[in-house]
Structure formats: C-alpha cells, structure tokens
Structure 1
Amino acid sequence: MAAALALTERATHALGAGLPPRAAAALQALTGTAVGACVFVAALLRSGGIGAREWRALPGGERMAARLTKLRLIPQPQPDAPRE
C-alpha cells in the first residue's frame, strides 16, 4: 500500500504543479484516499477477508460475486462434500 501511495503522490505532485497550494493538496489527498481504498479492497479480496457469501448479502451482490469469481479475485464456491 505504501508503494502505491508513494507513486500516487509523485504523479499528483506533477499534475498539481500549476495549481494553488490548497487545490494541489486537495487533489493529492483525494487521489491518495481513492488509491488506498482500492489497494485495501484488493488486499481483502486476495486474502479471503471478503468472500462470495458476503458479496451476495449486498444489494446487487450476486452479479458482483459472479464477476469476481470469474476474474479469480475471490475463490470459487466449493460444492458440499458428500457425507458418509
């Protein structure tokens, strides 16, 4: 996450060079927050912190869970094991 935010800081610093200081700071803060949120969600998905069951509990989550499963960002649901 630190690497992503460091790269974002450099990019927004270059983009905000002609802006007033407060506008440049706002651009950097908002962009950094958005990048940090995306990295956090990606880490949650890859670590299994949010699974298909949690996505399906949200409105429209069935479609999102199907997409994330297709993209292999969340594990595919395992069929129930036969009971002996």
Structure 2
Amino acid sequence: MPEDPAGGQGSGTTITPYRDGPLIVRGDFRLVDQDGAEIDPGRGTIALCRCGKSGIKPFCDGSHKRAGFSAPSAPSRPRPAAQLRQEG
C-alpha cells in the first residue's frame, strides 16, 4: 500500500456512508477482524453493513432496506478535533 506524505497508509482510500445504507469503501485498504486476521474483500470496492442485519457480515447484503434502517450520510454534529486526537 502506498504511504501518504503524513506517514500513514491508504491515502487513496475513500469511505462513504450512504444514507440509510452501508459504508462504501473504495481504494487501497486492508480489512481485518477484531483479532487482526485479514479478511479478503474479494474486490477493490466493498459495502460494509451498518444496520447489523446482514447475513454476510461485515459485508452488506441489502438487509437494511427490509429492516427499515435509518442513518444519515453525514455526522449529525462535527466532532471536536481534540476528541478525535484522544481516541486515535
């Protein structure tokens, strides 16, 4: 994976939360489970479940539509930069 000028990885990665739907991940990324084991995404663009109803987690299978999942595509309020630094 190419490194960005700030020293991080995945500078070409874009994560887009779709309104009432999944997170769409595009670009260079590495997907791992909570134990650090790599999950093969099988492609360069994936949809990750946000509703918790998918039968193929962590990937989206469209269950959010049947479940009536509702979520905005943007945060309801911005997070302070200081809070983001503390969590990172």
Coarse TM-score class (shorter-chain normalised)? under 0.3
More helix by share: 1
More strand by share: 2
Q: Which has the larger radius of gyration?
A: 1
